[in-house]
A and B are shown apart, each in its own frame.
Chain A
Amino acid sequence: MTTLERMRIPPRAGNAPLFDWDELVQDDRVHRLIYTDPAVFDTEMTHIFGGTWVYLAHESQIPNANDFITGKLGLRPLIITRDSEGAIRALFNRCTHRGTTLCRWNKGNARSFQCPYHGWNFANTGKLRGVPWPDGYAEKLVRDPKFNLAQVPRVESYRGFIFGTLNVGAPPIENHLGPIKKPIDEWLDRNPGGKVTVCEANRFKYKGNWKLAYDNSGDGYHVIYSHQSLLETENRFKDEDTAKGMSYYKQQPDEQPMYIQYMGNGHHFKDKRPNLEKRPGGLWAIESLHPGMEHVAEKLRAKYGDKAEQLLDLAGSEPVNINVFPNLSLLGNHIQVFQPVSHEETDAIWYGTRIDDVDGSIGEDALNDINALRMRTQEGFPNFGEVDDITNFEQIQRGLQCIEDEWIYMHRGLGIPGRIETLKDGTIKGPATDELFMREYIREWKRLMKAEPDIAIRREP
């Protein structure tokens, strides 16, 4: 049994439409206001970060009963916890008495949370357990569900990825993910046991709108320009056998076998795997140079022969960008999360992942070597690539202060016959540098901004 509550007072009186969304989002361009207007951002915080499924956390961050981490759904502070029964809950980190956040730690293990302000105490199911001096209240507070913590009414996992939505009418997460499930499955299944464990992160902040990161997540057009310093650095030794990293973007990227594919519901997928040699070690061959790599490669090859190549591939950066609207991107071995802070500020967190030896087939020694190497490969792009992207995002936000110059274009590939193909499953495929994914996801964004989602919170009865 659940108790749902819907807002009685919407953020704006009358809930009148802010803008003509069809005017702001057109087939080939979008208006600067969708990046710069605080009122648009406020609407996104209910219609997008609330109105659709949003990535909250990874199950490996709360492996045991009563483990918790703090997180956010839009701007709402959350406690994401696995309660004593094993159920994953996303509690609003807000005391039902006066609104104080209950938990100020990033992570931990707790069966209950006590408010540091007046001492109200809540079980990690959200139920109010007790308050100091209850005789001072005319009624028994613990018997009234309205004093139980609010929580995200729909929390569902897909293979370890925890999503939440306030939209009680949303389809199940598996249906919502739809075709993007296949690349997610492949991304997981290349690892032993089809699983990964989150292990800290490279954490960035930029002064720009969150959509600038999502626009970038499938963008094959920026690579050789925004990342020129990275490409030059990772190819600075001319005697290497293969071109490293994303060098395949250098020549006629639209004629390479890699592609961009729009997967529906705002999700999209950049698949660069077809550019690689299809053999064990094909991925490792283009991995740029990282601490310990020659040592580990020689050690594993001496010990395992040909089998070493597939082990080394586990430390290599899988060349995909699996982008799950609005805030999740699986790329390389990272779980990247976009966290809006304001209309002009965003946190971008690149969680690292390590592998586990699920069936003992790798052995502790090789596992340690592969994971150490996998840590080093994952630090490469955030250090030498992402810093330049976020600088460019900030400079877009600045450029958009030119009020009269209204439009931002995303029409690369539009109107060229035969360039883009709609497949039988409804997904849309095009060459690597095409901006079709931007046009399609922003169309979905517009649909959600126009929609009237059935937003609710839940409390324990």
Chain B
Amino acid sequence: MRSQANDDPSRFSYYVTDAFYSELVEDFSDWQTDDRAIEDAVERDLFRRLLEQEARILDNLLFEDWLKLFAPECAYWVPSTPERGDPRREIAVMFDDRRRLEDRVYRLRTGYAWSQAPSSRTSRLIANVEVFRGRTDDQRMVRSNFIISEFWDNEIRTLCGWAGHRFRKLDGQWKISAKQVNLLDCDQCIRNPSIIL
């Protein structure tokens, strides 16, 4: 058995505890309220630019750079219902911790991920960016709407919805500690859902 001393979240998953899930569910409930909205234009622009940077990195298939945008302990969550539910009791379309996020990238890089051979080409539009105060001073919650145009297998299709990013300030830098992607059709059958959202 491994020791808990080994706390590298890229290798071992010790941080995904019941408390981690509770905090995640709580942070992503009832957070989009006017009294928590941040009006400061400079700060709003900072987070808008972070989302645009993320979109550009993903459009350019720079997945390793994308991983660097995340905190070491993080979650990537695509709920399977519009109500989002509790990931402890419901299957999600995707629910990754740090290691599984790296699995996701690793798989795409094996050369044998037939669902992405050849890779999709994507163009992401991010809009309606709103920044909200988080539970603590070193956290922010950001809502954005997105449209991903995806060219794959000779056709272009659209994936759309809204995303919630939870940012946490680590060593003076804002890192994504959780990203929740809400596809409009999250509870419907989706053809080849294999790109990173």
Contacts and interface: CB of A to CB of B under 8 A. Distances in A.
B33 interface: no
B92 A375 contact: yes
Contacts of B89: 199, 354, 371-372, 375
A399 interface: no
A207 interface: yes
Contacts of A293: 13
Interface stretch (A156-164, A388-396, A440-448): A388-396
Contact of A387 (B15, B85, B96, B115): B115
Nearest to A225: B112
Among A292, A297, A378, max chain B CB count under 10 A is at A292
A223 to B, nearest CB: 12
Contacts of B90: 199-200, 352, 375
A375 B88 contact: yes
Nearest to A395: B114
A350 B190 CA distance: 12
A59 interface: no
B18 A230 contact: no
Interface in B76-120: 80-81, 85, 87-97, 99-100, 103-104, 106-108, 110-115
A450 interface: no
Contacts of A106: 187
A391 B114 contact: yes
A372 B18 contact: yes
B94 A301 contact: no
A118 interface: no
B1 interface: yes
Contacts of B103: 233-234, 236, 289, 384
B108 to A, nearest CB: 8
A109 to B, nearest CB: 16
A229 B88 contact: no
A304 interface: no
A383 interface: yes
Interface in B98-145: 99-100, 103-104, 106-108, 110-115
Contacts of B16: 291-292, 295
Contacts of B97: 291-292
A146 B158 CA distance: 44
B2 interface: yes
A111 interface: no
Interface of chain A: mostly helix, strand, loop or mixed: helix
A292 B112 contact: no
A232 B112 contact: yes
A293 B105 CA distance: 20
A279 B161 CA distance: 46
A226 interface: yes
Interface in B4-29: 4, 11-18, 20-21
Contacts of B12: 294
Interface of chain B: mostly helix, strand, loop or mixed: loop
Nearest to B81: A200
B173 interface: no
Nearest to A372: B88
A348 B111 CA distance: 25
Contacts of A339: 189
Nearest to A197: B89
Interface string B22-42: 000000000000000000000
A379 B96 CA distance: 9
B67 to A, nearest CB: 15
A207 B152 CA distance: 13
Contacts of A354: 89
B60 interface: no
Contact of A294 (B2, B88, B188, B194): B2
Nearest to B106: A233
Given A298-B1, A384-B103, A204 B87 contact: no
B127 to A, nearest CB: 27
A384 B113 CA distance: 8
A378 B81 CA distance: 16
Contacts of B193: 204, 387
Given A354-B89, A372-B21, A375-B91, A203 B187 contact: yes
B191 interface: yes
B190 A205 contact: yes
A26 interface: no
A131 B16 CA distance: 55
Interface string A285-311: 000011111110110010000000000
A203 B88 contact: no
Contacts of A378: 91
B91 A388 contact: no
8 contacts: A201-B80, A203-B190, A205-B190, A290-B100, A294-B2, A375-B88, A378-B91, A387-B115
Given A375-B89, A384-B104, 5 more contacts: A204-B190, A232-B107, A354-B89, A379-B94, A390-B115
Give me the 5 closest cross-chain CB pairs, A-B, nearest first.
Answer: A352-B91, A292-B16, A291-B97, A387-B115, A228-B112
Interface of A: 106, 199-207, 226, 228-230, 232-234, 236-237, 289-295, 297-298, 301, 339, 347-352, 354, 365, 368-369, 371-372, 375-376, 378-379, 383-384, 387-388, 390-392, 394
